[in-house]
Amino acid sequence: MTRIFLISDHHFGHSNIVHKFDPSRPFVNIHEHDEALVSNHNSVVRPEDHVYFLGDVVINRRMLPIVTRLNGKKRLVRGNHDIFKTKEYIDVGFEEIYGVRVFQPNTQQNKTGFILSHIPLHPDHLIRGYKNVHGHLHFNRVMRGPIPDDRYISVCCEHVNYTPVLLESLR
């Protein structure tokens, strides 16, 4: 059976992500950061697994080749930093490129449906019975008033220990 993994906001090659923009990332420098993310990824993802990257994979075009080192059949849900031509992402191994991706609920088992996006969807756009799996917020969480909103699941690197998570584990 095909396993489906999710993760967001790698920011490979973005030296400021380590200390300036995201002080929660526990790495000495960008090289240590990038190598840890590759190692973590390959420790759980097999070549036959599907992996959805929910945006902001690399910050600089010269870092795109790092994607070839990552196991799995790769799919990209574009983020605000995924600005290069689609062909460039395909050339490094992404098989599919999306704006958003919807997984229907399994009605026989009454399972939740998921809408994958980079930026969290507005609450008015969430379909009843679906959760929004997203990235973009880094160490922040989606709130509704003073409490977290459980319709949103962040798979930013910071929230998943810099390691892809199984879609099934979110159900």
For residue range 52-85, what is the model confidence (pLDDT) as tens digits? 999 999 999 999 999 999 999 999 999 999 999 9
Pair of tokens at residue 30: 């960008």
Nearest to 12 by CA among 69, 52, 91, 51: 69
Nearest to 31 by CA among 16, 7, 13: 13
3-state helix, strand, coil in the chain (%, to 5): 25, 25, 50
Q: What is the mean pLDDT of the chain?
A: 91
DSSP state of 52: E
Instruction: Using the Cα atoms of residue 124, residue 97, residue 75 and residue 135 in order, give the sign of their dihedral.
Output: negative
C-alpha of 128 from chain center: 23
Nearest to 8 by CA among 41, 36, 30, 32: 41
pLDDT (0 to 100) of residue 110: 56
Mean pLDDT of 3-11: 97
Domains of the chain: 4-170 (3.60.21.10)
Exposed e or buried b per residue across 108-138, where buried means at least 16 C-beta atoms within 10 angstroms of its C-beta: eeeeebbbbbbebbeeeebeeebbbbbbbbb
Residues facing 131 on adjacent strands: 114
Comparison of pLDDT for 94 and 148, the residue scoring more: 94
pLDDT above 70 coverage of the chain, percent: 94
C-alpha of 15 from chain center: 19
Assign 1 a pLDDT band (cuts: 50, 70, 90).
Answer: confident
pLDDT (0 to 100) of residue 19: 76
For residue range 85-102, what is the model confidence (pLDDT) as tens digits? 999 999 999 999 999 999
> What pTM was estimated for this model as a whole?
0.93
Number of H helices, E strands in the chain: 4, 11
- Could you tell me the end-to-end alpha-carbon distance of the chain, in angstroms, rounded to an integer? 17
H-only helix segments in 46-85: none
